[in-house]
């Protein structure tokens, strides 16, 4: 019999706050963290807005001498892990270190460092490149730095599955614990791609909103007048443990993770199939893994990026997956406030889903002003909602047609 896995800690760092409860409070209040980009000079860029993590001082989490070894995505991940560990009151003893693992994904990794070191190469030749360039930029060094800091000697890995990366990391961690290969997993994702190449690259695809004069109103998932997504940065981390270990140490259990689905579109490098086939199948796989019926899911944290095509197709997929029950479900996209964290999105939104179950409060989709006939479900528009929810589903879909869905269950203390 597979082991039960619970969430005992959530760490959130995003445009809505540096801290789990601060981020959650702002999300429930419907406050957008999206504003004009300050990380670089945006002259000449079509999109000049993003969901930056404001006033982030890495020295609160990293020693000064260590900073040169870490791109910003690693720094954000270490901050989120610290928040999650504190909430969980997690301590990894030497005796159990081999049963504690780390699995943190990122879609892009150290874009900031890659751009900086490439400029050094062009300006001064190869001898100007930092010896820390590679280990500060590659995707798996968030997991590596975390494992070193906390003495986690168990499974150590990283996903780079685009916008599904951290949902895959959480789902894979769930399965690692379930099958007995670890008792504890620190998992999730991190991204920091608000850089000239990051914004310029997505801008070249015409994927970004250009509502530059109204930053806080730019990300508007499922709204008729949505015109593209807004890039966000940050990190979302969960502490997963076996139920037995969590109860033995008297941990506060926030939710149980009960389902995980993966699928591939096999259709197009950036666009989903018009019938939402990959998204439909991944949701059904997650429900099957959780051993629940569609009508038992009360809340979906949608992928909902605010792109014209993506939101409409996700709506089609939800209708297919949930049938007659789709119309009565609560659905929201918190990307309306945080922006799209790309590889960090699934970790952030899994954490948000856990908090929604904990507080029985559903964060809204803000900027929902004009209904779209192609998006005709209940997207919890503009205002948070109290609701009795037993199961929450979190969707993540990535370029290359890679999809992940996670199912969490409300923790019943009785």
Query: How many structural domains comprise the chain?
Result: 1
- Average of per-residue pLDDT values in the chain: 97
Active site residues: 163, 303, 340
Per-residue confidence band for 1, with pLDDT thresholds at 50, 70 and 90: low
Closest residue by Cα to residue 170 from 356, 362, 7: 7
CATH code of 304's domain? 3.40.47.10
- Residue range 45-60: average pLDDT? 98
pLDDT band at 244 (very low <50, low <70, confident <90, very high): very high
Domain with 395 in it: 1-414
Q: With bands split at pLDDT 50, 70 and 90, how would you rate the model's confidence at 341? A: very high
At 412 the pLDDT is 86
Could you report the per-residue pLDDT of 150-208, keeping only the tens digit for each? Answer: 999 999 999 999 999 999 999 999 999 999 999 999 999 999 999 999 999 999 999 99
Q: Where do we find the tokens 């892990």?
A: 81
Q: What is the pLDDT of residue 312?
A: 98
């Amino acid at each position: 019999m597979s082991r039960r896995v619970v969430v005992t800690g959530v760490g959130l760092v995003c445009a809505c706050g540096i801290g789990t409860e601060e981020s959650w409070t702002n999300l429930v209040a419907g406050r957008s963290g999206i504003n004009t980009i300050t990380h670089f000079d945006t002259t000449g860029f079509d999109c000049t807005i993003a969901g930056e993590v404001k006033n982030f001082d890495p020295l609160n989490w990293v020693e000064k001498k260590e900073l040169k070894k870490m791109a910003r995505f690693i720094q954000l991940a270490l901050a989120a892990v610290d928040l999650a560990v504190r909430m969980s009151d997690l301590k990894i003893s030497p005796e159990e270190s081999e049963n504690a693992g780390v699995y943190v994904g990122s879609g892009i990794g150290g874009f900031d460092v890659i751009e900086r070191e490439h400029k050094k190469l062009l300006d001064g030749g190869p001898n100007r490149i930092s010896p820390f360039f590679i280990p500060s930029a590659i995707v798996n060094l968030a997991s590596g730095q975390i494992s070193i800091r906390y003495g986690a000697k168990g499974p150590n890995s990283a996903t780079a599955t685009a916008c599904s990366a951290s949902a895959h990391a959480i789902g894979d961690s769930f399965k690692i614990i379930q099958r007995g290969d670890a008792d504890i997993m620190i998992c999730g994702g991190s991204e920091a791609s608000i850089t000239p190449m990051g914004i310029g690259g997505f801008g070249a695809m015409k994927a970004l909103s250009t509502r530059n004069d109204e930053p806080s109103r730019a990300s508007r998932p499922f709204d008729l007048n949505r015109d593209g997504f807004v890039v966000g940065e940050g990190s979302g981390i969960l502490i997963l443990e076996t139920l037995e270990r969590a109860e033995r140490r008297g941990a506060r259990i926030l939710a149980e993770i009960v389902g995980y689905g993966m699928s591939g579109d096999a259709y197009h490098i950036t666009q989903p199939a018009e019938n939402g086939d990959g998204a439909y199948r991944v949701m059904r796989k997650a429900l099957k893994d959780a051993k629940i019926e569609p009508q038992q899911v009360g809340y979906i944290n949608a992928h909902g990026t605010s792109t014209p095509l993506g939101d409409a197709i996700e709506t089609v997929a939800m209708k297919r997956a949930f049938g007659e029950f789709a119309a009565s479900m609560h659905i929201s996209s918190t990307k309306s406030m945080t922006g799209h964290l790309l590889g960090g999105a699934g970790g952030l939104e899994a954490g948000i889903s856990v908090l929604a179950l904990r507080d029985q409060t559903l964060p809204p989709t803000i900027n929902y002003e004009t209904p779209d006939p192609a998006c005709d479900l209940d997207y919890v528009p503009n205002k948070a909602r109290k609701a009795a929810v037993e199961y929450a589903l979190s969707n993540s879909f990535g370029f290359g047609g890679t999809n992940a869905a996670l199912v969490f269950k409300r923790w019943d203390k009785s």
